[in-house]
Structure 1
Amino acid sequence: MAKKKTAIDFEQSLQTLEQLVESMESGDMTLEKSLEAFEQGIKLTKECQQALKEAEQKVEVLLNQNGEETLAPFKEEDAG
């Protein structure tokens, strides 16, 4: 169950971060509100980076459980 909570937390954090960026880019925020949004954005960014790092480590463990290390560098053209 913790897996789903982490994924939901990541998605929620990412969505909130996107909303903060849009609000800040609009230019309608006061300096104080902009600083608060920036501070919250930094916190959310760190949380998202940590969640991605944990997911990467979990994938690595799962791949290594099969006795073979099959990790390869990600290439942009592979994503398309």
Structure 2
Amino acid sequence: MPRKNSVHYFEENLTELDSIVTQLESNELSLEEALKAFEKGVKLSNECQSVLTKAEQKVQILLEKQDGEHLENFEPESN
């Protein structure tokens, strides 16, 4: 799994995304810089959404199995 797409780096991605939003809101970037920042922000947002989706799937598996049956190993879909 790519480094930035793992749960371990989720908070790092959110922090970087927050920084990009702050930069874009400052109106201090040139158009070219703003477009590059926006593109990076979209990529980070997609990576965060992927991690959240996988976490939601894992929680759903755990909730379905809470009545005492053994838990299944969670294997996220590969993109």
TM-score range relative to shorter protein? 0.7 to 0.9
Offset of residue 65 of structure 1: 1.7
Question: When the two structures are superposed, what TM-score results if normalisation uses the length of structure 1?
Answer: 0.73
Offset of residue 66 of structure 1: 1.9
Task: Tell me the residue number matched to 1:36.
Answer: 36
Match for 2:8: what amino acid? I
Task: Tell me the residue number matched to 1:72.
Answer: none
Stretch deviating more after TM superposition (56-65 or 17-26): 56-65
Offset of residue 61 of structure 1: 0.7
Unpaired runs of 5+ residues, structure 2, are 69-79
Taking the TM superposition and a 5 Å limit, the aligned residue runs for 1:64-79 are 64-67=64-67
Detail structure 1 runs of 4+ shifted over 3 Å in the superposition: none
**Distance in 2 between residues matched to 1:30 and 1:8, nearest whole Å:** 33
Q: Identify the structure with the greater helix proportion.
A: 1
Share of identical aligned residues, percent?
A: 42
Query: What is the CA RMSD across the aligned residues, in angstroms?
Result: 1.7
Question: When the two structures are superposed, what TM-score results if normalisation uses the length of structure 2?
Answer: 0.73
**Equivalences, count:** 64
Unpaired runs of 5+ residues, structure 1, are 69-80
